[in-house]
Amino acid sequence: MLTIRSLYKTYPNGVRALSDVSLDIPNGMFGLLGPNGAGKSTLMRTIATLQEPDAGSIKLGDLDVLADKVAIRRILGYLPQEFGVYPKVSAEAMLEHLAVLKGVTHRGERRELVGALLHQVNLYEVRKRKLGGFSGGMRQRFGIAQALIGDPKLVIVDEPTAGLDPEERQRFLNLLAEIGERVVVILSTHIVEDVSELCPRMAIIAEGRVRLAGEPRETIRALAGRVWRRVIDKGALADYRAHMTVLSTRLAGGATLIHVLADGRPEEGFESIPPDLEDVYFGQLQQAAGARVA
Ligand code: ADP
């Protein structure tokens, strides 16, 4: 269990990136969902001991993450948002090298480890190929392989599916799900489906604050009976936005389909629909925006 308490971070330019962030993250896949600029990377880097918060505490079991950085780094696997690779090195050679850096000095043991990792992320067939020739999905799977060296207890992946095509994305998520059975895996993302398909627990973060934390199913259930749908003229959208909490808009065959959050039917023509995680997410973002205006 990773326990985060009252974490604060303000950058020197005055941007408050984290504000009273507290989370309990058990073993398994945990989705950290939020829009760009919400503070996800700041939180990920802080847990990964790459930067200091202004205040607060992080514990993994009994281990004090902020005080005992060396111990944490030994059991941490991290895939940063900007994951650079050496383009001219093969996947196999790079993993070998990284394994040496992580302290796997015995040659036979290292070969075995690298081979197993390449199989696990389905890159064994292309292990001799240069990383520069890898597709985005292959590169991310390589990123996971390097994060898994040393058998980490805590795995952090920051926005890993951005830019992947649907097939590669699915493949990548399946890989994460397998890992997540044994350790704490934190997946930060702005893509709602990453969380709904994969994460038994999640939190929504916006403007540096945790807006909601829990099981996706429970948060969806809490909106039951409050999400309404209607097709409108595109030109009327601004008017609807002014009068109602519009969760989302979608173009459907030339018309505009909107979802609205309301305790009762907002007006004739709206039909009640079962909520999904996207409704939950956009509802929280609306509330965050509302709180800012107020
Ligand atoms: P996310 O990963 O959710 O997109 P970030 O943690 O990267 O969010 O950023 C949160 C906020 O902090 C943003 O407003 C961003 O511009 C700002 N920020 C991030 N890193 C720095 C930095 N090194 N210096 C100043 N501001 C930063």
**Atom number of ligand 1 nearest to Cα 205:** 3
Q: What is the pLDDT along the chain (294 residues), one digit of tens a residue?
A: 999 999 999 999 999 999 999 999 999 999 999 999 999 999 999 999 999 999 999 999 999 999 999 999 989 999 988 777 889 999 999 999 999 988 888 999 999 999 999 998 999 999 999 999 998 889 989 999 999 998 899 999 998 888 788 888 888 888 888 887 779 999 999 999 999 988 999 999 999 999 999 999 999 999 999 999 999 998 899 999 999 999 999 987 778 999 999 999 999 999 999 999 999 999 999 988 887 766
**104 and 205: one domain?**
yes
The order of strands in the sheet holding 16-25 is 16-25, 2-10, 55-60, 63-64
CB atoms within 10 A of CB 123: 21
> Are 274 and 224 in contact, with CB atoms under 8 Å apart?
yes
Name the closest-CA residue to atom 13, ligand 1. Answer: 37
Q: Which of 164, 183, 214 is the last residue of a domain?
A: 214
> Final residue of a domain: which of 184, 214, 244?
214
pLDDT at 197 (0 to 100): 84
What is the domain extent for residue 54? 2-214
191/241 same-domain check: no
CA of residue 41 to ligand 1 center, whole Å: 7
Ligand 1 atom with the smallest distance to the CA of 11 is 25
Same structural domain, 197 and 262: no
pTM: 0.92
Is 11 in the same domain as 58? yes
Domain count, the chain: 2
> By three-state DSSP, how is residue 226 classified?
coil
Q: Which of 171, 195, 214 is the last residue of a domain?
A: 214
- My answer on whether 155 and 230 are in the same domain is no
Close Cβ partners of 37 (under 8 Å, ≥ 6 residues apart): 207
Tokens 């504000």, located at residue: 19
Judgement on whether residues 208 and 84 belong to the same structural domain of the protein: yes
pLDDT value of residue 58 = 98
Are 190 and 105 within one domain? yes
Same-domain check for residues 183 and 144: yes
Output the residue whose Cα is nearest ligand 1's atom 21. 11
pLDDT score recorded for residue 294: 61
Are the C-beta atoms of residues 7 and 55 closer than 8 Å to each other? Answer: yes
Query: Which residues have CB under 6 Å of ligand 1?
Result: 11, 13, 15, 17, 34, 36-42
Q: Residue 182 is part of a domain; what is its CATH number?
A: 3.40.50.300
Q: How far is the CA of 106 from the centre of ligand 1 (A)?
A: 40
